[in-house]
Amino acid sequence: MQTLTKQQIDFIDDIMERWGAWVYSGRIEVRQISLIGKLIASINPQNPVRSMCDDDTGLLISRIVSDIKLRSPAEYEILIQYYVYMNNKYQISVWLYSNRETNARGHSLTTYRNLVDKTLYNIKKIIFLKYIELSEST
């Protein structure tokens, strides 16, 4: 898989941010969203108004995201934390670092920051390619 260009990253980030707002607004039920995500969201007030995608785009992205959830629940959790709850990469890294289950080996915070960066980039690639594929077929 080739690397994404800056324009492709910006394009998919915009769609995912709108999808995150769409999910956060309750337009679709995201099952098993972690308690930590809700807790962090309540501590860090979110923007009161976020631009949302339309329902067709939201359902299309949700279909792609459900495949990610099945393949890798850990990547799905990072995606939800970042796009739905708007937690930044550092907040997600700190949570992973301080979580006994995910940090059983005692990795450094830098390791988790790199993991979050890599995971989000890979998720963007997957979603971008699937989005283009599914958009062209409809």
Q: What is the pLDDT of residue 23?
A: 94
Q: What is the pLDDT of residue 91?
A: 96
Question: Does position 31 have pLDDT exceeding 60, yes or no?
Answer: no
Question: Does position 97 have pLDDT exceeding 90, yes or no?
Answer: no
**CB count in 10 Å sphere of residue 55:** 11
34-58 mean pLDDT: 68
Q: Are 61 and 127 in contact (CB under 8 A)?
A: yes
Q: What is the mean pLDDT of the chain?
A: 86
> Binning pLDDT at 50, 70 and 90, where does residue 104 land?
low
User: In three state form, how does the secondary structure of the chain look?
Assistant: CCCCCHHHHHHHHHHHHHHHHHHHCCCCCCCCCCHHHHHHHHHCCCCCCCCCCCHHHHHHHHHHHHHHHHHCHHHHHHHHHHHHCCCCHHHHHHHHHHCCCCCCCCCCHHHHHHHHHHHHHHHHHHHHHHHHHHHHHC
> Binning pLDDT at 50, 70 and 90, where does residue 135 land?
confident
Q: What is the pLDDT of residue 100?
A: 66
More confident residue, 58 or 104: 58
pTM score of the predicted model: 0.81
CA distance 52 to 84: 11
> Which of 10-14, 17-21, 43-47, 119-123 is predicted least confidently?
43-47
